[in-house]
Amino acid sequence: MMRLFLLTYLLLNAFLLQATSIHGLLPENKSCGDWLVVGQTEYYASDELYFLINGGADLYLEYGFKEVVAQSYQNNVNEKISVEIYNMGSSEAAFGIYSLSKSPQGETANLGDFSVKTSNSLLFTSDSYLVLMRSAAASATVREGFCLLAESILRKNPAEGNIPALIEHLKLNANDVRYLRGPIGLSSVYYFDAANLFQVEEALAYQQGDTTLLYFAYNEAQKTVEVFEHLKKMLPSKTKFTLLESQASAFNLKDKKERTLFFTLKQNAIQVALN
């Protein structure tokens, strides 16, 4: 009797582990209408991500990427959809990649925590997971397939994630910001230097009219001051910048494209306004 109980317990645990693992999030056959699994499942962890997205893996790793599973699906008229599910380790990291990857021409899909769709793609987050779906086709059946596959994934992982606390602190709309965790993400907004001059812990990029604002937050006041003073010393020495004005807690630069950059030291933060 005890052996039977132990065997049942182990089988149940194995089933639950599979159901809650990243593999268990993939839609199965017969769960999404005519869309059926085709080809091999791909799985990569840590820096193996280069095998899936060589050239873009560094950005995901900067946000703390853990693992990804990828699978293709095909319907009865041979249209295909590729599904990639990324475990980013936290809902904040998943949101960060989403905020940098979403198409500005897309529209909200009302799926998961955050979502955007185009005629042949769907991107959404669900807690710590980032899901990307793509297709070479842009038909109505493909768009319906996106929804069916997404709903299957969300039934298995209905948990809601948290937005970065920095967004709430600044009272911003999460849909209007880009959340940064390092120099690679920062360079997609504005390229300062190959080195991590800002020693980025977390930052936000957002628009106020024609001005792009970068807000870098730090845990310690001393580090904030040290980074600010280093920036004030190093950036004017680079040929791409010209120093316009320098004060104790602010300085202004102009770059080669005649953009003006206003740096301001705040409490545990550095703000840069680009005009």
pLDDT score recorded for residue 252: 98
- Are 141 and 179 contacting, i.e. CB atoms less than 8 angstroms apart? no
User: Other C-beta atoms within 10 Å of 7: how many?
Assistant: 10
With pLDDT > 70 as the criterion, what percentage of the chain qualifies? 93
DSSP string, 4-21: HHHHHHHHHHHHHHHHHS
CA pair distance 82, 145, nearest whole angstrom: 11
Q: What is the mean pLDDT of the chain?
A: 92
With pLDDT > 90 as the criterion, what percentage of the chain qualifies? 88
The residue among 8 and 79 whose pLDDT is bigger is 79
- Are 60 and 50 contacting, i.e. CB atoms less than 8 angstroms apart? no
Question: Residues 6 or more apart from 116 whose CB is under 8 A from it?
Answer: 102, 103, 106, 107, 108, 109, 122, 123, 124
pLDDT score recorded for residue 20: 55
CA angle (159, 43, 25) in 5-degree steps:
25
Domains of the chain, first to last: 25-156 (3.40.1000), 165-274 (3.40.1000)
Q: Are strands 211-217 and 114-118 parallel, antiparallel or unpaired?
A: unpaired
pLDDT tens, residue by residue, 136-187: 999 999 999 999 999 999 999 988 999 999 999 999 999 999 999 999 999 9
pLDDT tens, residue by residue, 175-226: 999 999 999 999 999 999 989 999 999 999 999 999 999 999 999 999 999 9
Judge residue 104's burial from the number of C-beta atoms within 10 Å of its C-beta, 0-12 exposed, 13-18 middle, 19 or more buried. Answer: exposed
